[in-house]
Amino acid sequence: MDSFMSPFLAPLAGGALIGCAAALLLLANGRIAGISGIAGGLLGPAGRESAWRVAFLVGLLLGPVLFRLAAGHWPEARLDVSWPMLAVAGLLVGYGTRLGSGCTSGHGVCGLARLSRRSFAAVAIFMAAAIVTVFLVRHGVAR
């Protein structure tokens, strides 16, 4: 494994970039960098607010390209589930973001940084659900 992809440097750099992007969006636009809200805003009436949303989402899609340029190879992604299971999971995540008034990026990165009580509650629920899900899947209960 090359030094760029050390087990500590890549996550640290990724976290710093996410934090910088969230801070820049808040400072420059006064908006919270919650991906579900940004993407959901494109589904409503088109207006002057759509340009920054499109730019933000295009930036997310360019991430793997920039990774390729920096590391010399594409990021590795491995999925051990079927496409139908992935579709169901995606629908459940979408439902959860509507139910929780935001997603993990909005609550976990931006909400916690703003000391939002609602975000602290949402992140506690996200984490509890994740812990239970991993336990059930790893121990064969939910297969």
pLDDT of residue 69: 93
Of 56, 59, 63, 54, nearest to 25 (Cα)?
56
Q: Are residues 73 and 96 in the same domain?
A: no
The predicted model gives 35-55 an average pLDDT of 81
Decide: 102 and 122 in contact? Cβ < 8 Å: yes
Phi-psi domain of 34 (left: phi exceeds 0; alpha: psi -120 through 50; beta: other): beta
Q: Are residues 59 and 111 in the same domain?
A: no
Length in residues, the chain: 143
Measured distance CA(40)–CA(68) in Å, rounded: 29
pLDDT of residue 120: 94
pLDDT of residue 103: 82
Which residues constitute the domain of residue 63?
1-77
Quick check: 30 pLDDT over 60? yes
Q: Which of 50, 77, 104 corresponds to the end of one domain? A: 77
Q: Are residues 66 and 83 in the same domain?
A: no
Q: Model confidence over 81-108: pLDDT tens digits?
A: 889 988 998 898 888 888 888 888 788 8
Q: Are residues 61 and 104 in the same domain?
A: no
Q: Are residues 115 and 72 in the same domain?
A: no
Q: Are residues 70 and 121 in the same domain?
A: no
What tokens appear for 112 in the block?
Answer: 């916690």
Q: Are residues 28 and 39 in the same domain?
A: yes
What's the whole-model pTM score? 0.69
pLDDT of residue 15: 86
Number of structural domains (the chain) is 2
pLDDT of residue 98: 83
What tokens appear for 138 in the block?
Answer: 């790893």
Q: Are residues 68 and 100 in the same domain?
A: no
Measured distance CA(48)–CA(46) in Å, rounded: 7
Quick check: 40 pLDDT over 60? yes
Q: Model confidence over 64-83: pLDDT tens digits?
A: 898 899 889 998 888 888 89
Of 69, 39, 68, 70, nearest to 56 (Cα)?
39
CA distances for 66 relative to 9, 14, 33, angstroms: 16, 12, 20
Q: Which of 27, 44, 77 corresponds to the end of one domain? A: 77
Quick check: 140 pLDDT over 60? yes
Q: Are residues 115 and 60 in the same domain?
A: no
Quick check: 137 pLDDT over 70? yes
pLDDT of residue 3: 56
